[in-house]
A and B are shown apart, each in its own frame.
Chain A
Amino acid sequence: MEDQDKIIEELESDVSELIEKELESSSAIIGINVGTPEGTKITSRFKNPINMSVGEVTAANSSLVFLSSKMLRDSLNQDVGYNLITGKDRIVLSILSENITMIAYLNRELADLEGLDSYINRLQKLALQISAIIETSDILKEEIFKGLKRAIPNTLVLAIITKDGLPIKIQSTMPEPILSAMIAALYNLSGVLLESGMEYSIIGGVNGSVIIHELDENRILALAVPESDERKLGSYIAKIKAIILKVI
Chain B
Amino acid sequence: MKMFMKIITAGNGGVGKTTLLYRYVEGKFLTDTKATLGVEFFWKVFNAKEKQIDLQLWDFGGQQVFRHILKNYASGANGALILFDLTNKSSLEHIDEWVDICR
Contact = CB atoms under 8 A, between A and B. Distances in A.
Given A164-B77, A166-B6, A180 B56 contact: yes
Interface string B46-60: 000000001110100
B14 interface: no
A165 B4 CA distance: 11
Contact of A192 (B6, B39, B42, B69): B69
Contacts of B6: 164-166, 181
Interface residues of A, number: 19
A175 B43 CA distance: 8
Contact of A166 (B4, B38, B41, B42): B4
Interface stretch (A123-131, A182-190, A199-207): A182-190
A81 interface: no
Interface of A: 162-167, 175-178, 180-182, 184-185, 188-189, 191-192
Contacts of B43: 175, 177-178
Interface residues of B, number: 18
5 cross-chain pairs, A with B, having the tightest CB-CB distances, nearest first = A164-B76, A177-B56, A188-B72, A177-B43, A181-B41
A162 B76 contact: yes
A191 B58 CA distance: 18
Interface string B31-46: 0000000110111000
Contacts of B77: 164
A181 B75 contact: no
B49 to A, nearest CB: 20
B24 interface: no
Contacts of A162: 76
